[in-house]
Structure 1
């Protein structure tokens, strides 16, 4: 007669699940089977990975690239809050479509139009590279032609912009916290790539971000005011 043991993972109603073991296999041995395995959710969900062998030694500090990404989100949230806008991090599906965050602003807007609620989708980037300035624009190499195509599309209902945070080369200077101030260096700029021409490149496309379009509270409110008048900024291509 096969052995029966009680599985630690219960059914949805909290009852422990009985599990039959082959003849000759003791419950002690069954308990020693690797617990790192897939467990199916009996509520109808997808299998969940359980790994109880993880230790602190398996965890790793954030890489510099991860730090840049997280600080760009912090910058976006701070500026959006200062402009009295809501800021929401995108879902995995939206991220796959080139959207990292979504901003929502509510009127009345200074010099605004008939729209009293405005949505804006954002793709975030951060870089420590010193930007090259061309005719009053920062030249930025945007990796991923699919992301470039998502940003330049005119077939999307919600406007999209690219926000690039320029940071000092030394990570020790990225952020400073004192009794008087929390300083995040340096600054972000935005550009709308809507209407930009298709790229013939394989992996990256250089885009040009106006030096006047600093991503700060007043700049964000000014952009939201334009969108409330249904004025969606188009890309200014200076490479032609």
Structure 2
């Protein structure tokens, strides 16, 4: 009788809706893209020597990159100080972006577009679009000697762009020369420190 009871109860503890084709629950493809794009941005920021973390709470922007400076604490020790120089980042990813005239063309959601074009911002903001391979098996490769996130991210400041009359998405263009990498991020943060327009 107990055997029959446990057989009956088993289906409540292993519902089919919780299982993927491989037998285990998996996050959506969109979430996998999102996590990899943020991992890419955080890796670049770490290599460039900046902090990078999600805002808490999140009101439309995904990451905040902050600059820190070395300072003598008066006792002969060097400490790191945060003086408030920051960059907001909207992180997006795609494997179907169109390349036209050496520019990445991407359909950005109107809500994100409207947020990024604002002139009056306390903190500068950029879009980073991580362009991924089409095949998911090519997204990440990990080995003893090398870890590879294929393709790269591109950055663009949309500040001051005209409002869109579209209802759902707005096509934006990012020159392929604007690769989001260590050197480009340092250049962006130097402009942030000096108050230059991005």
Q: Does 1:102 align with 2:82?
A: no
Which whole-Å CA distance do the structure 2 matches of 1:130 and 1:171 have between them? Answer: 15
Asked if residue 131 in structure 1 is aligned to residue 98 in structure 2, the reply is: yes
- Alignment-derived partner of residue 202 in structure 1: 167
1:217 and 2:179 are equivalent in the alignment:
no
TM-score (ref. length: structure 1): 0.66
Q: How far is the alpha carbon of 1:152 from its aligned partner?
A: 0.3
Question: Shift of the alpha carbon at 1:56?
Answer: 7.8
SS of match in other structure, 2:170: strand
List runs of 5+ in structure 1 lacking aligned partners: 1-52, 109-114, 234-240
Q: 1:213 to 1:116 in 2, by over 3 A?
A: farther
3-state secondary structure, aligned to 1:156: coil
Task: Name the structure 2 match of 1:7.
Answer: none
Deviation digits for residues 117-154 of structure 1 (CA, Å, limit 9, x no counterpart): 420000000101143223x42211102x1211110001
| Structure 1 residue 211 displacement after superposition | 1.5
**Residues 97, 106 of structure 2: 8 Å contact kept:** no
Asked if residue 229 in structure 1 is aligned to residue 194 in structure 2, the reply is yes
Instruction: Quote the residue 1:153 is aligned against.
Output: 118
Change (3 A) 1:151 1:173: same
CA RMSD of aligned residues (A): 2.0
Q: Report which of the two structures shows the higher radius of gyration computed on alpha carbons.
A: 1
Bigger relative contact order, structure 1 or 2 (CA pairs below 8 A, ≥6 apart)? 2
Judging by fraction of residues, say which structure has more helix.
2
Alignment gaps of 5+ in structure 2: 1-11, 20-24, 71-81
Give the distance between the partners of 2:123 and 2:140, measured in 1 at CA. Answer: 32
SS at match of 1:214: coil
1:118 alignment counterpart: 85
Where does 1:37-76 land on structure 2 (aligned, <5 Å)? 58=18, 60-76=25-41
What is the aligned residue count?
A: 170
Pick from 42, 55, 66: which aligns with 1:90? 55
